[in-house]
Structure 1
Amino acid sequence: MQQRRRAAKRLALFNTLLGIRRSRDGDFLLGLVLATIAGAANAGGFFALGQYTSHMTGYVSTLADNIAVLNGKVILVSLCAIAAFILGSATSTGMIHWAKLRRQRQKFALPMALQGCLLFGFSWAGYLTSTAGLTFALAVLCFAMGMQNATITKISDARIRTTHVTGLVTDIGIELGRASFGMLSPQTGVSADRGKLKTLLGLVLAFLVGGVIGAVGYNNVGFFFSMPLALVLLGLSVPLLVRHRRDAH
C-alpha cells in the first residue's frame, strides 16, 4: 500500500513537471531544474572544451570577428556551434509536435529523454583527442542546450527560457524599472509584476548555482560529471514514457 502511494506521488510529481496539463508553479519548478542543469552543462563546456555552449550571442560575435580576420578554424567551430544549437531547437520542436499528434502525454518527456541521452553520451567525450572529435563533442552539447531551451519554451508558452540568461537579466531590469517608476509616480498605476520578477530571479540564481556545481564537478571529475546531469533528465522523463507505454497496451 505504501509503495503504491509512493509510486502515485512520484507519478504526480512527474506529471506536474512534464505533463500536458500545465501550471505556473509546475513550469517554474521545471524551469529551476533545467536552469540548474543548463548552468552546470555550460560551465562544463568551458572546463572540458574551453567553450561556453549556451552563449550563442558570443558565438555570433566570435563568428563576425573571425570572418573579419579570416580565421577559418574559429569560423568553422562557431558555425558548428550555432548550427547545432538551432538544430537542437528544431529537433525538440519537431518531436513535441510529432508526439502531440500520436502520444500527447509524452510530448514533453520525449525530448527531455533525448537530452539526457545526449548528456550521457557527452560524458564519454574525454576519450576524444582529435580536433574534429572535440568539435563534435561541442556540437553535441550545443545541440542539447538548444533542445532544452526550445523544450521549456514550448512547455511554458514562452514564459520561461533556461539558457538565455541575457534575456532573463534584461527582463529583471525591466521589472525593476517598472517598480522604480511606480514608486516615483504612483498615480500612473505602473508597478512590477512580482510573480514574474520572482520567477526571473529564481531562474538566474538556479543557473548561477548550476554553474558553480558544474565548475566544481567538471574541474574535478571531468567529462563524466555529465552523467548525474543526464540521470536527472532521464529520471524525470523515462518514468512517464514507461507508464504511458504500459497504459497504451
Structure 2
Amino acid sequence: MFRHKGRSRTSKHNLRLATLLSFVAGIVNVTGVLSVKTLTTNVTGHFAYFAEEVTKHDYQAAIVFLIYTLFFLAGAFTSNFLAELISKKKQELSHLPSITIEFFILVILGLLGTHSNFYLLNGKWIAFGLLFAMGIQNALVTKISQSTVRTTHLTGLFTDLGIELSQLFFYKKPEERKTLKTSIYLRLSIISFFFLGCFIGGFIYGYLALQTLLIAAFFLLVALYYDYIRLHFIAIKRKKKTF
C-alpha cells in the first residue's frame, strides 16, 4: 500500500490506500464537527470565514481561521519534508514518520481531548491538531500516489469525477475507456469510504465522544501494517504449495 512507488505502483495499490485513508479522514471530519464545530479535513471554508470576519472587523476571530489554514499547511510541509529526508536513506520507510505522527496526534486527542487544557480557546487546540494531522495525511497520500489520490476533502474529487463522467461520451478506444473507468471507480470509492467514515464516526461519537479518534488511529495502524501482513500471508501460501 505504501511501499510501492513510481512505476511499480498500480491502480490497485492506490485503491487500497484511498479507501482506507479516506475512511480515516471521514471519521476525523465528523469528529471535528461534532466536538468543536470545525471542519478539520480541508481549509476551503476557513478562508471564506476568514474574509467574513475581516469585513466585520473581528480580527481576533479572523486570525483563528487563518491559523486553521496554517496548521493544515504545516502538516503538509512536515509530511513531505520528513518523507524527502528519510527517502535519501531508506526509500521504503519514507512514509513511516508521517503516519506515526498522525497516529500519535489522533491517540493523544482521543485520550486527552476532553481534558480541560485541551479546551482552552473553546477547544480550538483540538481543531489545530486535527488540521495538522489531515495536512500530513493529504500530503503523504498525494506524494505516494503521484497526485492521483487525495483523501481528506471531496471538492476536487467531485470536479474530477464530473469531468471523467463526461469523457465517457467521447472516449471510444477500449484502452482509453478502461483507464477512464478505473479512475472513475477510484474516485467513487474515495467518496463512498469518506461518507462511510463520516456516518460510522458520527454514530460512534454518540457513545465515545472524542475517543472516536482512537478508531481512526486503529485504521491507520491497519494501513501501516497492511503490506507486511499481506506479504506474510503470501509467504505462508507459497510454503503450503511447496509441500
TM-score (norm 2): 0.84
* Equivalent in 192, 209, 212 of residue 225 of structure 1: 212
Kept in 1: contact 2:87–2:94 (CA 8 A): yes
Write the letter of the residue equivalent to 2:113.
A
Structure 2 counterpart of 1:31, from 18, 26, 50: 18
DSSP-derived class of the 1:193 partner:
helix
Deviation at 1:239, TM superposition (A): 8.6
Partner residue in 2 for 1:54 = 41
Which residue of structure 2 lines up, in the alignment, with residue 41 of structure 1?
28
Question: Compared with structure 1, are the counterparts of its residues 240 and 33 closer, same or farther at alpha carbon in structure 2 (3 Å cutoff)?
Answer: closer
Query: How many residue pairs are counted as aligned between the two chains?
Result: 221
1:79 positional shift: 1.3
In 1, distance between residues paired with 2:192 and 2:226?
28
**1:69-108 matched pairs, under 5 angstroms:** 69-108=56-95
Cα 1:128–1:79 change in 2 (3 A) is farther
Q: CA RMSD in A?
A: 2.4
Aligned partner of 1:207 in structure 2 is 194
- Partners of 2:227 and 2:182 in 1: how far apart? 29
Tell me by how many angstroms 1:133 deviates: 6.6
Tell me whether 1:153 sits opposite 2:131 in the alignment: no
Q: Secondary structure at the match of 2:38?
A: coil
Unaligned ranges ≥5, structure 1: 1-16, 242-249
Report 1:228-239 matches (<5 A). 228-237=215-224
Q: Give the structure-1-normalised TM-score.
A: 0.82
What stretches of structure 2 of length at least 5 have no aligned partner? 229-243
- Offset of residue 228 of structure 1: 1.9
- State whether residues 18 and 109 of structure 1, in contact with CA within 8 Å, keep that contact through their aligned partners in structure 2: no
Q: Is the 8 A contact 2:46 2:68 kept in 1?
A: yes
Identity of aligned residues (%): 24
One-letter amino acid of the structure 2 residue matched with residue 111 of structure 1: S
Q: 2:2 aligns with which of 18, 27, 49?
A: 18
**Equivalent in the alignment of 1:245:** none
Among 132, 142, 159, which residue is 1:143 paired with?
132
* Deviations 1:27-61, CA, capped at 9 Å, x for gaps: 21011100000011000000011111113110011
In 1, the alpha carbon distance for the partners of 2:226 and 2:165 equals 40
Tell me how far 1:226 sits from its aligned partner.
0.8
Q: CA deviation at 1:20?
A: 3.9
Contact kept, 8 Å, 1:66 with 1:72, in 2: the verdict is yes
Q: Of 106, 113, 123, which residue of structure 2 is paired with 1:125?
A: 113
For 1:149 and 1:79, locate their aligned partners in 2 and report how far apart those are by CA, in whole Å: 19
